[in-house]
């Protein structure tokens, strides 16, 4: 009998250290690809089409931002050129000749997903667009993004610009090791000014989960007509830390991510209570014999 109790106890101990999700329910979601990783245990607890080639849309800007953050000198001014602002659709609306702090450009690219900000970062850091894209692809290889090719810093569906859900997970895991990156991605809004004209800009997030779910701490949204609605979401609760990579979602991204987080963060029944319940059930079985 003691042996049986030990088996039950061992089983529930194993459950207590591994997050659980309703895989059957997640299988039914109308999303092209989905990954859920519990960072505390480094366990991928759900995956759908992890290696499928996908369009990353503005999730690309995670790479753009982390490259800019890592090179430092974020207080320096960047003079806006015609090439930097010749993009659509989401834009901060800079004018040629305005000077914007690099730190503000990073926040505009990450929080509001401004494409002119991302282009300004690329040209300022790389010297030209081609060189920066080369930097992006070199970094991708260095952090294990083996099936990714970047052709631009914004996420436009230009040429063979592509990635995979697993590679995007690698990118997010790498980026969140940086405290400044984390601070930026949890912001709902950022107000800043041109250094030479004092013109005011406001970057408001597209990540509706930040204002809706108290445990959300980032990371980035994305959308193009080919990529569909995309989302890399992160939440932390009671020592648990979870990342979700969602590509081409036909579901409500915010509700879906929150529901997944709640499954991951649910506190397992205490081992002692479970053990007692099992023991009582065994006693009942004996009485019925």
Residues noted as catalytic = 58, 61, 113
Q: Which residues of 87-117 are buried (b: 16+ CB within 10 A; e: fewer)?
A: beebbbebeeebebbbbbbbbbbbbbbbbbb
**Strand ranges (DSSP E) for 96-196?**
99-101, 189-193
**Minimal CA–CA distance to 36: which of 17, 57, 22?**
22
Give the Cα separation of 128 and 12 in Å (integer). 56
Residues listed for the chain: 289
Give the Cα separation of 67 and 182 in Å (integer). 14
């Amino acid at each position: 009998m003691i042996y049986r109790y030990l088996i039950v106890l061992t089983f529930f101990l194993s459950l207590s250290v591994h997050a659980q999700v309703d895989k059957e329910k997640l299988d039914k979601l109308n999303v092209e690809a989905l990954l859920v990783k519990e960072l505390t245990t480094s366990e991928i607890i759900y995956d759908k089409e992890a290696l499928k080639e996908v369009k990353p849309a503005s999730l690309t800007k995670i790479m753009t931002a982390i490259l800019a953050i890592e090179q430092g000198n974020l207080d320096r001014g960047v003079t806006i050129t015609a090439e930097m602002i010749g993009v659509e659709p989401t834009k901060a609306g800079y004018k040629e000749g305005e000077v914007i702090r690099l730190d503000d450009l990073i926040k505009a690219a990450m929080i509001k997903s401004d494409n002119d900000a991302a282009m300004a970062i690329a040209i300022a850091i790389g010297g030209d667009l081609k060189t920066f894209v080369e930097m992006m692809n070199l970094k991708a290889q260095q952090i294990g993004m083996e099936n990714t090719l970047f052709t631009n810093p914004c996420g436009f569906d230009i040429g063979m610009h592509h990635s995979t859900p697993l590679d995007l997970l690698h990118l997010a895991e790498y980026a969140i090791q940086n405290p400044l990156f984390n601070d930026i991605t949890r912001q709902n809004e950022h107000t800043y000014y041109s250094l030479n004209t004092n013109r005011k800009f406001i970057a408001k997030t597209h990540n509706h989960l930040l204002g809706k779910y108290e445990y959300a701490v980032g990371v980035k949204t994305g959308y193009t007509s080919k990529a569909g609605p995309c989302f890399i979401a992160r939440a932390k609760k009671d020592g648990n830390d979870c990342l979700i990579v969602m590509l081409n979602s036909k579901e409500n991204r915010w509700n879906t991510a929150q529901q997944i987080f709640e499954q991951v963060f649910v506190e397992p029944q205490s081992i002692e209570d479970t053990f007692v319940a099992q023991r009582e059930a065994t006693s009942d079985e004996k009485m019925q014999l």
